[in-house]
Chains A and B, each alone.
Chain A
């Protein structure tokens, strides 16, 4: 599992931050359900933009279990999370969805004309007729180590990602972790740091072997200090961190530091969705089972994030929900259009859209 995604500073294929996109549908979440929603909406000629906090499609399938086999996707006796993602990407290609990766939708408001304005944490704006929340377990966010008082230092002295290397110049930096993120930042920040200490609980690293080699070379040169142990407390004044308590097999010591970068992986948090005025049920979004619409007309929720009596958090349930949601969304976008229900096996118009005819 790579966790470098949280460092992603670039945007997806969608273009530059600060732009405004007008579209039929914005799908929040590029997991399997969000991706399949592109397909079902696409068959009805609805154009989609897809936004995801991760730097690539797949959601939990890509982040939590890319190599793990899934056995309960109909007609695929065995498929890995990554393969399923790749196949869905292939399947939705004809519909030309626009992806915005490494972005999180923070704001959602309804406009006077009935459309929605969505704003991302990168400043991108979307004007959409339909919003589909396919956010799974919520937004992947870096894990916060349960160290007393850590919140006070966040943004000033404690960072879960670094956007500008220059902001770290001349600082006493402590990096915690043993994966690619921890090692990449150790290597990237060492040249600008006043001092850099890498702390990991064991002398084995999950990170790519060549990064580990480079790190060990810097340690041998005395340019990086490697400490095997765990951080147990933080000390500082106000928002300024001054030192971290390191516990090793030899005992405890205080390491002077004014920048701490903990890399303990990602966890899922409902995030900004909680503030959009939707009815919630234990951090899930209740929907009806005819349209999979939330308490707000035009805002739908599919996949793991929704709730209804009998709900099962299965990928296959999300696919079904996407199909019914698309029909309901189409009735909102095209209220006067008569929709003839068609099959991809026989409809030449659907086959044309799929590019097979």
Chain B
């Protein structure tokens, strides 16, 4: 299990246990994290599971692939650490991952 912390725009945070192999989006949905909509169900087709990866975790999570980068065009307030959580797989290396939620998912 890997621990993932989701921080809401108001500062409140929730830490969940995620099974490796799931995506960060799926871990969020399983734990009813607010602000992750995932309208398309994880097909990298809607940009409603947008998160900001905490600075300390950028290297571990890597950069978005081209398709994800294209889809991030549909997200709002895209920043340096922006990722679509459906495109990040939970691994043991991400134990402790911290992501922040944007103010809105559109």
What is A's interface to B at a CB cutoff of 8 Å?
A: 1, 60, 64-65, 68, 137, 143-146, 177-179, 200-202, 204, 206, 230, 232, 264-265, 267-268
Q: Could you say which of A64, A137, A179 contacts B73, with CB atoms under 8 Å apart?
A: A179
Q: Which residues of A contact B73 (CB under 8 A)?
A: 177-179, 200-202, 206, 264-265
**Given A1-B45, A64-B46: A146 and B106 interface contact (C-beta under 8 Å):** yes
A200 to B74 alpha-carbon distance, docked (Å): 11
A202 to B75 alpha-carbon distance, docked (Å): 13
Name the residue in B45, B46, B73, B106 with the highest tally of chain A Cβ atoms < 10 Å from its Cβ: B73
**Residue of chain A at shortest CB distance from B78:** A201
Q: Which residues of A contact B48 (CB under 8 A)?
A: 267
**Given A1-B45, A65-B45, A267-B46: A137 and B39 interface contact (C-beta under 8 Å):** yes
A84 to B70 alpha-carbon distance, docked (Å): 25
Cβ proximity bits B83-106 to A, threshold 8 Å, 1 near / 0 not: 000000000000000000001101
Q: Which residues of A contact B46 (CB under 8 A)?
A: 64, 265, 267
Q: How far is the CB of B32 from chain A (nearest CB, A)?
A: 15
A60 to B46 alpha-carbon distance, docked (Å): 11
A interface, by DSSP: helix, strand, loop or mixed?
A: loop
Q: In the complex, are the beta carbons of B74 and A143 less than 8 A apart?
A: yes
Q: How far is the CB of A129 from chain B (nearest CB, A)?
A: 34
Q: In the complex, are the beta carbons of B45 and A64 less than 8 A apart?
A: yes
Q: In the complex, are the beta carbons of B43 and A146 less than 8 A apart?
A: no
Q: Is B40 an interface residue, CB under 8 A from the partner? A: yes
Q: Could you say which of B74, B78, B103 contacts A230, with CB atoms under 8 Å apart?
A: B78
A265 to B78 alpha-carbon distance, docked (Å): 15
**Given A143-B106, A145-B106, A146-B104: A65 and B76 interface contact (C-beta under 8 Å):** no
**Residue of chain A at shortest CB distance from B74:** A265
Could you list 4 further interchain pairs (A-B, Cβ under 8 angstroms) beyond the known A145-B76, A230-B77, A265-B74?
A: A64-B45, A65-B43, A145-B106, A179-B73
How many A-B contacts if CB must be within 8 Å? 49
A-B contact pairs, 13 of them (CB 8 A): A64-B43, A65-B40, A65-B43, A68-B43, A143-B74, A145-B106, A146-B104, A177-B73, A179-B73, A201-B73, A202-B69, A204-B69, A230-B77
A79 to B2 alpha-carbon distance, docked (Å): 34
Name the residue in B40, B47, B69 with the highest tally of chain A Cβ atoms < 10 Å from its Cβ: B40
Q: Which residues of B contact A146 (CB under 8 A)?
A: 76, 103-104, 106
Q: Which residues of A contact B76 (CB under 8 A)?
A: 145-146, 264
**Given A143-B74, A177-B73: A265 and B40 interface contact (C-beta under 8 Å):** no
Q: How far is the CB of A118 from chain B (nearest CB, A)?
A: 27
A145 to B73 alpha-carbon distance, docked (Å): 12
Q: Could you say which of B70, B78, B106 contacts A267, with CB atoms under 8 Å apart?
A: B106
Q: How far is the CB of A234 from chain B (nearest CB, A)?
A: 14
Q: How far is the CB of A99 from chain B (nearest CB, A)?
A: 24
Q: In the complex, are the beta carbons of A64 and B78 less than 8 A apart?
A: no
Q: How far is the CB of B46 from chain A (nearest CB, A)?
A: 7
Q: In the complex, are the beta carbons of A144 and B39 less than 8 A apart?
A: no
Q: How far is the CB of A5 from chain B (nearest CB, A)?
A: 14
Q: In the complex, are the beta carbons of B43 and A267 less than 8 A apart?
A: no
Q: Which residues of B contact A267 (CB under 8 A)?
A: 39, 46, 48, 106
Q: How far is the CB of B99 from chain A (nearest CB, A)?
A: 19
Name the residue in A143, A145, A202 with the highest tally of chain B Cβ atoms < 10 Å from its Cβ: A143
**Residue of chain A at shortest CB distance from B105:** A146
